[in-house]
Amino acid sequence: MHRRLPRRSNSTLNQEGYFYTRNNKMAITRQKKEEIVATVAEALKSAKTLVFANFKGLTVAEQNEMRKALRAQGIGYAVAKKSLLRRALDAAKYEGQAPELVGEVSMAWGEDELAPAREMAVYVKKFGEHLAFVGGMFGGKYMDQAGITAIAAIPGMETLRAMFAQVINSPRSRFAVVLAEVAKTKGN
pLDDT at 25: 58
In which residue ranges of the chain is pLDDT below 70? 1-26, 188
CATH number at 27-154:
3.30.70.1730
Compute CA distances 109 → 38, 136, 169, whole Å. Answer: 15, 9, 36
pLDDT at 90: 85
pLDDT at 188: 64
pLDDT at 26: 62
pLDDT at 36: 83
Residues 6+ apart with CB under 8 A from 167: none
What one-character DSSP code corresponds to residue 114? S
What is the SS3 assignment for 71? helix
Beta bridge partners of 76: 109
The pTM for the full model equals: 0.68
Domain boundaries, given as residue ranges, for the chain: 27-154, 155-188
